């Protein structure tokens, strides 16, 4: 009897451990073993981008205001290497991974997904992961954690389990034992303003999240789309396709604005992002394209830049769909402690309308009436919180 071929893909998620701090130590070896943070030097303004493990022992962490960090540790060292140094080591990181596969999807400056299915036919995936870790550490002085799984989502979840220098394998049959005991805060894609709602209502672990008895409560708390997405990912029903061009310039469009007078309030950012979203959606429609991924870029007054992405349920060129995602990303990532010098909006995963298959979504989506109601409720909520002039539909404007 012919042996059945194992069709499961082998996906690596490679996540650099404290990448910014590691690069800072390469540039200035005297920082090794010391409590330091990446932030705005010689200033009490702004926030910390990331902190060394030694600084974390004092309760210092990313997004903490520098003034608060100095209260916890007056001798804290704060450094801010040029962005070009980070890009240099990012490129070296990519070069090493390309020795093993060309099927690489860069998720951010310090993490990527890699399809290692082919090379794993001749070398055990765990042995391969250890070899990659050793090379990154010996050749670049960059530690990393690696998650190995049959899908991108599970690989990402796996890489977060053991840090630093961890290697974690999650097969579908391992999901219950490895993931279910974890806190719901560990679910990749569940935002920092979403998981507290779950925990406060007794949904504390992933096991609680997956119980059928809790489904109706969770739907009320986070909505059908978020629930279906997380649930399907957690049972292994998510993409296993690593797309090297997912975020390339050829498959994305973006726009941004730099301010002469920095913006400090959320309503100011919403106003600016709404204008940029309108501009970019117009371009999308003119080119006959639909988008699957929405991204925002925020750069603060100390030149710290973040880009955050959200995958839509369906390909879309609808302004309301896209702006709803922009608002969600803004609310999740806005920091009232800083002022912003640049904001941007990007659309990725673009396809021509004629090329979209009839069934392109794994998960159930809301019908049009329900979606319309959700958008209206969202607008009313923001008007109540930030004022009626912050966000409105054209038909509502007087």
Residues with a known catalytic role: 111
Positive or negative, the Cα torsion across 51, 56, 62, 68? Answer: negative
The Cα 169–Cα 130 span in angstroms is 12
What secondary structure letter does DSSP report for 171? -
Strands 144-149 and 111-115: unpaired
| Separation in Å, CA 162 to CA 36, 178, 179, 276 | 22, 12, 13, 39
Query: Are the beta carbons of 170 and 252 closer than 8 angstroms?
Result: no
Burial of 262 (0-12, 13-18, 19+ CB in 10 A): middle
| Separation in Å, CA 397 to CA 258, 275, 386, 388, 390 | 27, 15, 16, 10, 11
In 3D, which of 153, 59, 43, 144 has the Cα closest to residue 105? 153
Burial of 42 (0-12, 13-18, 19+ CB in 10 A): exposed
- The number of angstroms, rounded, from the C-alpha of 110 to the middle of its chain's C-alpha atoms is 11
Count the neighbouring beta carbons within 10 Å of the beta carbon of residue 257. Answer: 15
Burial of 359 (0-12, 13-18, 19+ CB in 10 A): exposed
CB neighbour burial string for 101-123, b if at least 16 within 10 angstroms, e if fewer: bebbbbbebbbbbbbbbeebeee
- The number of angstroms, rounded, from the C-alpha of 106 to the middle of its chain's C-alpha atoms is 12
Query: Residue 164, preceding bond cis, omega within 30 degrees?
Result: yes
Give me the phi and psi of 97, to 5 degrees please. -65, -30
The Cα 216–Cα 378 span in angstroms is 21
């Amino acid at each position: 009897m012919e042996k059945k071929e194992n069709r499961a893909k082998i996906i690596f998620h490679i996540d650099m451990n404290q990448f910014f701090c590691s690069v800072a130590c390469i540039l200035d070896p005297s920082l090794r073993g010391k409590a330091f943070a990446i932030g705005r030097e010689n200033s009490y303004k702004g926030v910390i981008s990331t902190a060394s493990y030694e600084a974390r022992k004092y309760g210092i962490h990313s997004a903490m205001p520098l003034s608060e960090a100095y209260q916890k540790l007056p001798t804290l060292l704060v450094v801010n290497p040029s962005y070009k140094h980070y890009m240099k080591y990012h490129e070296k990181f990519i070069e090493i991974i390309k020795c093993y596969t060309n099927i690489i999807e860069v998720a951010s400056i310090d993490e990527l997904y890699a399809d290692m299915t082919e090379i794993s036919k001749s070398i055990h995936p765990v042995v391969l992961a250890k070899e990659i870790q050793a090379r990154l550490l010996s050749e670049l002085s960059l530690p990393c954690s690696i998650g190995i799984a049959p899908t991108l989502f599970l690989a990402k979840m796996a890489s977060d389990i053991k840090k630093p220098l961890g290697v974690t394998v999650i097969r579908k049959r391992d999901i219950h034992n490895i993931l279910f005991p974890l806190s719901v805060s560990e679910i990749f894609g569940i935002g920092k303003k979403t998981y507290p709602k779950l925990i406060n209502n007794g949904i504390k672990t992933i096991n609680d999240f997956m119980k059928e008895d809790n489904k109706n409560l969770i739907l009320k708390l986070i909505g059908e789309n978020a629930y279906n997405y997380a649930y399907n990912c957690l049972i292994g029903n998510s993409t296993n396709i690593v797309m090297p061009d997912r975020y390339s310039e050829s498959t994305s469009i973006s726009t941004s604005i730099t301010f002469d007078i920095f913006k400090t309030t959320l309503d100011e950012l919403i106003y600016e992002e709404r204008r940029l979203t309108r501009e970019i959606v117009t371009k999308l429609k003119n080119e006959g394209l639909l988008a699957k991924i929405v991204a925002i870029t925020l750069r603060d007054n100390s030149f710290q830049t973040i880009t955050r992405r959200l995958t839509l349920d369906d390909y879309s060129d609808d302004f309301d769909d896209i702006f709803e995602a922009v608002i969600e990303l803004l609310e999740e990532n806005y920091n009232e402690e800083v002022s912003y010098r640049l904001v941007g909006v990007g659309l990725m995963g673009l396809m021509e309308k004629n090329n979209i298959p009839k069934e392109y979504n794994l998960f159930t989506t809301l019908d049009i009436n329900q979606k319309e109601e959700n958008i209206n409720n969202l607008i009313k909520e923001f008007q109540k919180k930030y004022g009626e002039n912050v966000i409105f539909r054209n038909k509502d404007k007087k």
